[in-house]
Amino acid sequence: MTKRLIGCVLALFLTGCATLSQQDCKRADWFGLGVQDGRAGATTDRLNDHHKACSEYGVAVNDSQYFAGRDQGLKDYCRLENAFKEGLDGHDYRHVCPPEIDVVFSRYHSAAHSVHKERAEIQRIDNELSRKESSLGDSKLTDKERARVRDDIRQLGHDRDRARDDLYYHERQLNEFRHESRSYY
């Protein structure tokens, strides 16, 4: 790799990590940005990312406005029904909610996230099964290779059954938690 190419790749990597452009930093509504980050469940590390990005342009971040907005945004994020949505969407929970709700939010999120993971696993297995079944039609396969593919298909079928059982368990748990969450309102 030439030095120039390495420099370009490094520049792309470094600018790809910036959270805000120069224009964004200069025109920033720090309260609004805090609300946005709070609603996304961002940790306080996100403010450090903004500081880093804007310091490159000589722009100061208004921490107090940002934190006031983030606190407002977290009120939306930390609603219990959002724990289910975030988990089912496959988003991680970073324990940003107040201590009085964190344990319950985390438990609900974890149950929903387990459902998300099991669904993804079943999809992965189904894709692999489809690929293996299609490969059986390949006339270039030897009898030994064809037998190995059939064994793989049988094993994938067992894996899918296990994943479906796990999904059923996690969906039942999720439904129980959803019912339980109604008592908090």
Task: State yes or no: pLDDT of 2 exceeds 60.
Answer: no
The pLDDT of residue 134 is 93
Q: How many other CB atoms sit within 10 Å of the CB of residue 21?
A: 13
Which band of pLDDT confidence, cut at 50, 70 and 90, is reported for residue 6? very low
pLDDT digits (tens, 9 = 90+) for 10-31: 333 333 445 789 898 889 899 9
Confidence of residue 183 (pLDDT cuts 50, 70, 90): confident
123-167, pLDDT tens digit by residue?
999 999 999 999 998 999 999 999 999 999 999 999 999 999 999
Locus of tokens 């310091």: 55
C-beta of residue 84 within 8 angstroms of C-beta of residue 109: yes
pLDDT at position 132 = 95
Please compute the mean of the pLDDT values over residues 85-113 and round it to a whole number: 97
Q: What angle do CA 125, 134, 132 make, to 5 degrees?
A: 40
Is pLDDT at 68 greater than 60 in this prediction? yes
The whole-number pLDDT of residue 150 equals 95
* Confidence class for position 4, pLDDT limits 50, 70, 90: very low
